[in-house]
Amino acid sequence: MSTLTSALDGVLRRTTEAAGGVPGVVTILTDRQGTIHEGSAGVRAVGSGDAMTPDTILSLFSCTKAITGVALMQCVEDGLVSLDDRADRHVPEISRTQVLDGFDPDGTPRLRPPTTPITVRHLMLHTAGFGYEFFNADIRRYRTYANSLGAPRGTRASIDTPLTFDPGTRWQYGVNIDWVGLLIEAVRGQRLGEAFRERILDPLGMHDTAFHVTDAMADRAATMHQRQPSGEIVPIPSMMQRTPPQIENGGGGLYASAQDYAAFMRMILNDGSGAEGRILKSETVQSMVRNGLGDLASGGWISANPTLTNSGEYFPGIRKSWAYTFQVNDEPAPTGRPAGSLAWAGLGNLFYWIDRQNGIAGFWGTQILPFHDISSYPGFVEFETTVYQHLSRNGTLRDR
């Protein structure tokens, strides 16, 4: 066993076996050629004997966003849409969205039209003004008033939120990419999953990726868990989507294996080239991985629902921007990740990074709430740090 394999497997064991650890975790590390290391530890569900394995099916949550971003850029390449198009040209219902300007004393929301229209670019960069109810207390209050609080993924109501500022004036993470998914459906004339399957998933060999847990995936699917305030970890199998949803959320609806997601990350490392041919033009990938915010910056988040997320930020004190559709660390990270790398996460404590400078990418997958978990996130940071320590010492991640 190589030193790197031994070190990474040790991180997984500590994350699952320590007091307060996660039920199970699966990881994968890849370079441009293929998988360098894949690992797993723990179980798919508390109380089960089903071991976590590299082909375990995970709810990706917002790791879905990058795939939707690629699908949108394919539409740009095909001349179906421009990033500067008004979004309502393709999804007219978005024009009804208004800006939330506070609340009257009786709790009635104050709404007004936005001063500028939402563009496709605003949606891709999270500058349209949309948020999430679990990250924004005003949106949570509005959705409580509208009796739509907690609308589940896969429903139209899940993305019906007001804006919290005028488009283009700030960065705020929210349901933007769900709207991008609807836009792709409109210009392609097909369901989002069909567009993914035809143009991304099948060409990349991602046969374990879908917007619901199919019969072929069910026996390998991990269960979502909830960490209680007491520290107890409780399975919540009801969160698993077993039937096709009403809408296929481009912002967070996919299920996949870590092995499948590694194939997607490799495509980004390889400038749009996949196992079965080219997914995107090289120049399109180059445009996707650059900061698109200009003088704006992306940052952390404040919890508006502690059952779903803790407050937090990746690498506080380091400037971070946004690309189409990844976070970019504009300065080197303490893990060893160089400036200009791409990264993001999923609500169930899934994390990934794509380092195009060194030609490596890593994925960490758990299924536990709330987000920014006290065990899973530090485990991911240790996983990534271990990779760069090995790279620094040896100059390579592959056995010689």
Catalytic site positions: 62, 65, 173
CB proximity list for 327: less than 8 A, separation 6 or greater: 298, 314, 320, 321, 342, 343, 344
Give the Å distances, CA to CA, from 217 to 45, 151, 241, 255. 15, 25, 11, 9
Other C-beta atoms closer than 10 Å to the C-beta of 48 total: 13
Return the structure tokens found at 383: 């996983």
Backbone φ, ψ for residue 154 (5° rounding):
90, 0
